[in-house]
Amino acid sequence: MGLRSNFVTLLPLFLLLVSNAKGQSAAGGGVFDVTSFGAKPNGDITGPLLVAWKDACASTTPSKVLIPKGSYGLSQSNLKGPCKSPIELQIEGTLQASPDPKGDGLLLLEYIDQLTVSGTGVLDGQGKAGWEKNDCHLKKICTKLPMTLKLNFITNSIVKDITSLDSKNYHINLLGCKNLTIDHVTITAPENSPNTDGIHVSSSEQINILNTNIATGDDCISVGDTNKQIVISDVTCGPGHGISIGSLGKYSKEKEVVGVTVKKCKLTSTTNGVRIKTWPDSVGTFPATDMHFEDIEMVNVSNPIIIDQEYCPWNQCNRKVPSKIKISKVSFKNIRGTSATAVAVKIVCSQSNPCEEVEVADIDLTYSGSEGPIKSQCANVKPVITGKQNPPICGEPAPIDGPSTD
Ligand SMILES: *[C@@H]1O[C@H](CO)[C@@H](O)[C@H](O)[C@H]1NC(C)=O
Ligand SMILES: *[C@@H]1O[C@H](CO)[C@@H](O)[C@H](O)[C@H]1NC(C)=O
């Protein structure tokens, strides 16, 4: 076809036609299919996606950018709002990152209200090429690799059904979001891939993470600093490092965490189950409060229940100075299943800021390995204990300077 072969020379005319068509499509419901903006199967989609996004975002009636089935290359894409109307990005195809690590996010969406990201498509981060360069788990100043889906300052929005595969860094990162739901998303990376957190949330509020399956090399979900009203429900996790609040206190400018509920989750062969972790010698002093974990199933989990205020992997901190983060109003309820280590419940709070109002109820964990009977160790905490307690909660003191979890 003449139009296709002369695509480049005819581009200005083409865009003119498209923007004329836009008026009609906006009136009639507005689907902006990237293939009508020059995206070709197996070709790079970055340019067409940006043009389709700009047109859709300018539409005064609700619009949709559609990436149909097929495989496409994608380079760092920055899709910005604010948009004039609600907007949907429907991904049905597979978007492949370049193996060469570049930029800080593969797909960056920012300053958008009423966004829907949907579709059965795959964001393939092509992580293998990056993981060997990733040393951020080893040192403070490190090579930053691109995350796969970065959501910055997104409000009243939903991300559903998509898959994130083999990210080079975090799979999905939320920053400054409010009222955002992640539903029925799949996240997959190998157990040994560094820093590939499934979903990281910071400086956000009213976030729901629901019905999501995560298998990765780092935390399945990490709730960082400065967060409010976070709900995590019906999530499966494993392999990975579990569901964590923290780590908190590593950097200045961090603010409080208030209101995190983790419920109806299943963790399988993870290195931690549900965890709160803060750094000793922390820069910030702020509270972390109102955090609840309930109806959780553990299968072969190494540290099923853990508060670790001595979190200091690879000796990146001064372990002698206790954490200044104040933890309070925490509950662990109805947590059952199997532990892969003997110390199944470990609550190690700060010597200078002991945990307060910790409640532990109906814990039923078993351990069948060779380290002796199942047990629970505690420091600087006096929890209220009710219901079943297997192991006996806080049956022994935690060793001073015990090993850090990862
Ligand atoms: C949250 O966002 C959803 C999806 O856009 C919307 O339907 C709902 O009204 C919002 N809730 C609040 C409290 O703004
Ligand atoms: C238990 O989990 C460990 C990883 O922590 C894994 O290597 C091992 O294969 C798992 N065992 C079973 C029986 O699943």
Least distant ligand from the CA of 299: 2
pLDDT at 112 (0 to 100): 98
pLDDT at 191 (0 to 100): 97
Answer yes or no: is the C-beta of 206 below 6 A from any ligand 1 atom.
Answer: no
Cα separation, 273 vs 243, in Å, equals 6
Architecture in CATH of 219-406: 3 Solenoid (2.160)
Active-site choice (166, 218, 225, 308): 218
Asked if 341 contacts 370 with a C-beta cutoff of 8 angstroms, the reply is: no
For strands 243-248 and 221-223, give the pairing.
parallel
Ligand 2 pocket test target in 266, 269, 366 with most atoms within 8 Å of CB: 269
Answer yes or no: is the C-beta of 282 below 6 A from any ligand 2 atom.
Answer: no
Answer yes or no: is the C-beta of 114 below 6 A from any ligand 1 atom.
Answer: yes
pLDDT at 71 (0 to 100): 97
DSSP per residue over 302-368, as a string? SSSEEEETT--GGG-S-TTSPP-PEEEEEEEEEEEEEESSSEEEEEE--SSS--EEEEEEEEEEE--
- b/e sequence 214-227, b meaning 16+ C-beta within 10 Å: bbbbbbbbbbbbbb
At 99, phi and psi to the nearest 5?
A: -60, -30
123: CB partners within 8 A, 6+ apart: 74, 91, 95, 97, 106, 107, 148, 149, 162, 163, 164, 165, 167
pLDDT at 132 (0 to 100): 82
Identify the segments of the chain with pLDDT beneath 50. Answer: 1-28
Per-residue model confidence as pLDDT tens digits over 322-379: 999 999 999 999 999 999 999 999 999 999 999 999 999 999 999 999 999 999 999 9
3-state helix, strand, coil in the chain (%, to 5): 10, 45, 45
Least distant ligand from the CA of 208: 1
- C-alpha 178 to ligand 1 mean position (Å): 9
pLDDT at 404 (0 to 100): 66
Least distant ligand from the CA of 304: 2
pLDDT at 47 (0 to 100): 97
- The pTM for the full model equals 0.92
Active-site choice (161, 166, 241, 308): 241
pLDDT at 200 (0 to 100): 98
Q: Where are the domains of the chain?
A: 219-406
> For residue 134, which amino acid is it?
N
Ligand 1: which residue has its CA nearest to atom 8? 156
